[in-house]
Structure 1
Amino acid sequence: MQQKGKSFDRFTFVPVLNACASLQALEEGRQAHKQIIQCGCEADVFVGSSLVDMYAKCGSMEDAQSVFNKILHRDVVTWTAMILGHVKCGEGHTALKLFRKMQAEGVQPDSFTSVGVLNTCASLVALEEGRSVHEQIIRSGYESVTFVGDSLVDMYAKCGSIEDAWRVFNKMSS
């Protein structure tokens, strides 16, 4: 596109950032970020979420946080990217703090957010926090989602609550 003189917009940058995230191509992602700043798209929720996700998947949580702070209207995707980035970097306590802050700001977690937080609870052996997330999952109707059920079983088992793990397992349809 650049060689043909075509201009970029927010719709162009999202797949480029997703590719950088998938390849963990941090330097290429930073180059794209510079162009995003030039276009004035950095605060756009879709571009911003993709930037946060790219930096988080590349292990650059400082850059992810910097972008996250500039996004005015954060949605569940933006919050989830930050939370999962901290999970990936082994910063479970920070991920849980962000999860609580997200909810305090009125953003409801989706199934992907819930699974990330359950994985954090499992790694931290945070059974009570995991039970709290499970209650939210039930209220949200995500308990029947297979990968959520898998994460619940895993979390309960790793936290030493085999009874709860079996209870969830036996409720799963597949």
Structure 2
Amino acid sequence: MHIESDQEGYRSCVNNSTSCQAYITYQALQDDTLQPVGLCFRLSVEQLAEALQIAQYLSVALDLFTSMDCELSSVTYIVGLKACRGLASEKESDKGLYLEKGITIHKGVKEHGFKTDIVVATNFLEMYSNCSSMHHAREVFESMFSQDAVAWNTLILGYVENGDYAVAMDLFSIMDCEPNCVTYLAALKACGGLASEPESEKQHHLQKGIGIHKKLQEGGFGSDIVVAITLVDMYGECGSMQNARDVFDRMIQCNAVTWTSLILGYVGNGQCSEAMDLFARMDCE
């Protein structure tokens, strides 16, 4: 199939490419007889790279991005960033490599004038966070003309996932837009992480966690299973198993994850007999 003579057919091929079909289409692109040109090439690469990411061919998607020799759009850059982010999560030892690739993409974004695009900027926040470079993530965040809840959440979660719980809580306290469920979940994780530090600080972080719990209830998120699991984890880390048990007992539906969270909370707080009782109940129910 020649791209110039059958552009619509090629688009259709890429649009319908997922899993191994996407990979086969990628291999076809390596054929010297194919000469993808102009807009058709750019659209096809974006669509194909997206399909390859869905199919978990992240390395191939990134190779395809770096091989492009035509003008790139903001969507193309986002595809490259997502590939870097995914690969950094999969291969801990190669984070530095994908950070460098991400920095190179960042330079291209600046050169092509996309740095003010809030969607592109948010994807940079995610990529730098996954590459454990919170310094770069913070620079991107500070350079944004406006930060919405998604940008705040992405930065706060980045600090949480990299173990910088105090910074995450500082950001949560100065957030200048309306927090949402994701924001509160990130703050709960930060509270739990901070409570694992000096014993004398547990009560302080517990009170912060209780305050966030109230906000979640006021926002109507109290019955969400992910919220409940996060609360059980936080209360367990803060040493308040009574609060953890109260959350658990109010849950409409429990699964293996919720049972495990509560059992681990008891174990972590030295209440092994309660943990064994729960384990026995879990086996029965």
Aligned residue among 100, 111, 129 for 1:56: 129
Aligned residue among 31, 35, 42 for 2:115: 42
What residue is the counterpart of 1:122 in the other structure? 192
CA distances 1:107-146 after superposition (whole Å, capped 9, x unpaired) = 2223222222111111112111111111111122222221
What residue is the counterpart of 1:32 in the other structure? 105
The change in CA–CA distance for 1:168 and 1:31 in structure 2 (over 3 A counts) is same
* Alignment size in residue pairs: 171
- Does 2:11 align with 1:11? no
The whole-number CA distance in structure 1 between the counterparts of 2:182 and 2:134 is: 19
Shift of residue 74, structure 1, vs aligned partner? 0.7
Q: In structure 1, the residue corresponding to 2:223 is in which secondary structure? A: coil
The whole-number CA distance in structure 2 between the counterparts of 1:168 and 1:110 is: 20
Residue identity opposite 1:19 in structure 2:
A
The whole-number CA distance in structure 1 between the counterparts of 2:216 and 2:74 is: 33
**Gap runs ≥5 in structure 2:** 1-44, 46-65, 89-97, 196-204, 254-285
The change in CA–CA distance for 1:77 and 1:136 in structure 2 (over 3 A counts) is same
Residue identity opposite 2:78 in structure 1:
V
- Does 2:86 align with 1:22? yes
TM-score, normalised via structure 1 length = 0.91
What residue is the counterpart of 2:162 in the other structure? 89
Contact 2:163/2:193 (8 A) holds in 1: no
The whole-number CA distance in structure 1 between the counterparts of 2:220 and 2:71 is: 43
The whole-number CA distance in structure 2 between the counterparts of 1:5 and 1:17 is: 17
Residue identity opposite 2:189 in structure 1:
N
Contact 2:225/2:251 (8 A) holds in 1: yes
- Does 2:213 align with 1:134? yes
The whole-number CA distance in structure 1 between the counterparts of 2:182 and 2:245 is: 22
Shift of residue 76, structure 1, vs aligned partner? 1.3
The whole-number CA distance in structure 2 between the counterparts of 1:52 and 1:20 is: 12
Residue identity opposite 1:20 in structure 2:
C
The change in CA–CA distance for 1:143 and 1:14 in structure 2 (over 3 A counts) is farther
Aligned residue among 171, 176, 182 for 1:112: 182
The whole-number CA distance in structure 2 between the counterparts of 1:141 and 1:16 is: 37
Q: Percent identity?
A: 33
CA distances 1:48-81 after superposition (whole Å, capped 9, x unpaired) = 1110111111111111111111111111111111
The whole-number CA distance in structure 1 between the counterparts of 2:218 and 2:114 is: 36
Q: Which has the larger radius of gyration?
A: 2
The whole-number CA distance in structure 2 between the counterparts of 1:123 and 1:110 is: 20
The change in CA–CA distance for 1:8 and 1:139 in structure 2 (over 3 A counts) is farther
Residue identity opposite 1:118 in structure 2:
L
Shift of residue 10, structure 1, vs aligned partner? 1.9
> What is the root-mean-square deviation of aligned Cα atoms in Å?
1.6
What residue is the counterpart of 1:69 in the other structure? 142
The whole-number CA distance in structure 2 between the counterparts of 1:144 and 1:11 is: 36
Shift of residue 29, structure 1, vs aligned partner? 0.9
Q: Larger RCO: Structure 1 or Structure 2 (Cα < 8 Å, ≥ 6 residues apart)?
A: 1
Contact 2:126/2:154 (8 A) holds in 1: yes
